[in-house]
Amino acid sequence: MGNPLLLDFKTPFEAAPFTKIKTEHFIPALQYSIDVALKEINKLVQNKEIPTFQNTLDALENCGSLIGRNSSLLFNLNSAETSDSLQKVAQEAAPLLTKFQNDIRLNETLFKRIQFVYENENREKLNTEQLTLLEKEYKGFVRNGALLKQDAKEKLRTIDTELAQLSLSFGENVLADTQTYILHVQKEKNLKGLPENIVEMAQQIAEQKGLKGWIFTLDYPSYVPFMTYSENRELRKELSLAFGKRGFQDNNHNNSVVILKIIKLRQERAKLLGYESHAAFVLEERMAKSEKNVESFLNNLSKKAHPVAKKEWNTMEAFAKENLGISTLEKWDTAFVAEKLKQEEFDLNEQVLKPYFPLNKVLDGLFQIIERLYGLSFYKTTEIDTYQEEVDVYEVKKSDQFHALLYTDFFPRSGKRNGAWMTSYRSQKKGQRPHISIVCNFSQPTKTQPSLLTFQEVTTLFHEFGHALHGILANTTYSGLSGTSVYWDFVELPSQIMENWCYEPEALALFAKHYETDEVIPHGYIEKIKKAAHFQQGLQTLRQLSFGYLDLSFHTKNANLIEEVKTHEKNQIAPLQFTSDISENCMSTSFSHIFQGGYAAGYYSYKWAEVLDADAFELFLEKGVFDSQTAKSFMENILSKGGTEHPMTLYKRFRGKEPDPAALLRRAGLA
């Protein structure tokens, strides 16, 4: 009974008691909670009554809540605050949880009850959400092998277990290579061009490691500024090559074989279930519907973007030759040259903007924006336990009533993977409010300055808050349909639409304030930011499309023919790249979105959702960016509804029509 994961959390809002949870608690707790859930399932299937929605689907939805809570804790911590011991526990937990999922999905008696309800229930007596849950559960069982013969079911179990472990290994390998490398600069002349706060941050990192000089790492707040501002081309090259080698070195962290195993197993799994490819399996449950539609979508955007990108590249090449003495643009030059060109074209220096984006003021302004749009209030609390001292917790209220908990975790550290993401520690359902978390890797405060964000970091914060709102404002009966439990190519709409407020003067006035003087960002800077939003949109679009094409190519019917990851990647993205290939680099081996996250055969959804968000935001522009009725409609029809109805139905209810693909082209200046 000393294991807190075996008990209800007797804490404020039933929040996780992080400081009481030890690594050794997880496996016994998962074993116990799996046993409890299987007993609940057994009770359900032994019910002698005729199967109905209430005694079958309702009952199933309430099974396994303890597993959901404990597994969320484990895997969220494994991403944000991992250690060697926690990684071992995650590797041990993955097959346990996969087996449990398969024990449910491949339970013939349980499936027959669901099938009976699916085929016989009087649907007129069910509400929209119940109908959606019934459809989702039936399809979920079928798509996870319920109709397979016994030997095929056992094969599926084996595949799923191996895939779960390979996915964890992939992420561990990327993290290991990211954290092993440092660039140790010992001569001050090699810092030329770098902003003062970046130099100070590098000195702090060196001091923490007991070294003299300056340390730069592959964490984004260190890596991106160095690649953008360092005038030392050789050091830019060294850092760039190290970043591109993650998961692709002659060491124990090489992901090439891991990828080949994953794509072959995914293909084998899809064929076992009757699909010609993993992409076909995935896209059946997406707005895009088919591989052909995704290819058509990517191709149409590529045709629009490529001529624009080519002009942008030619401009950059000419500028680099004439002004920077760089005759051939290489991968390690593009961010540096692009920044110099942007400064030239727009008289806009990111470093001049940073003092207007101190994290505390941006966050406060963001809270004000959300309060004006959706009526939410955020109150920092110290009563809630956290997993790390840098993490803050907010009590979120709506109409003065508790609505959610929000954890924020903003800075890079050892044991935390790169990137930014939203996740939850507790989902929303009837009678239960959610606990949401945002995890980022922003520029850290230094001894002389607070955390000052780049404009890209500002948009990242707004993006992740859009995801958080999807969770915080969720208002559904069933957790399986709540918040971000939507079609994968719809999940980015709430996040991407929030980025638009970063460009609106009325919104910027709330958060873009100088950290020393509290002066609101000058209007001239705002105009430059808006103009710069179109800067190199052709090249940026091609970059995203190349990731979309690459992802899809790993999951088509021919994916099992791939013999060498690097060669395959090169063939896929070469037509969309202008820099020469780097033989010792491979993007795929650190492509965590598709080999560790949930974006396999779904990376296109970022661009897909951009169409939705560009079209949706046009309504806000038409009515006013803080128009209460438009915001209320977006909240009621999109944010609160989760996956309770088909996304296109929800979207049309908000917008009054299907999305216009040209909206994205108009916003990006590609029309």
526, 505 in Cβ contact below 8 A? Answer: yes
Q: What is the DSSP string of 455-472?
A: HHHHHHHHHHHHHHHHHH
* Closest by CA position to 256, among listed 591, 603, 564: 564
Exactly one of 137, 457, 464, 645 is catalytic; which is it?
A: 464
For the record, the structure tokens of 390 come out as 């840098």
* Closest by CA position to 474, among listed 355, 642, 318: 642
Within 400-522, where are the H helices? Answer: 455-472, 493-498, 505-511
Q: Determine the Cα angle at 547 with ends 562 and 285, to 5°.
A: 85
Distance CA(198)–CA(204), nearest Å, equals 10
| Strand pairing category for 392-398 and 401-409 | antiparallel
Distance CA(561)–CA(523), nearest Å, equals 55
* Closest by CA position to 600, among listed 608, 609, 591: 591
599, 593 in Cβ contact below 8 A? Answer: yes
283, 519 in Cβ contact below 8 A? Answer: no
21, 393 in Cβ contact below 8 A? Answer: no
Q: What are φ and ψ of residue 604, in 5° steps?
A: -55, -20
Give yes or no: 295 in active site: no
According to DSSP, residue 55 is labeled I
| Strand pairing category for 401-409 and 376-381 | unpaired
Would you please indicate which residues are annotated as catalytic (active-site) residues?
464
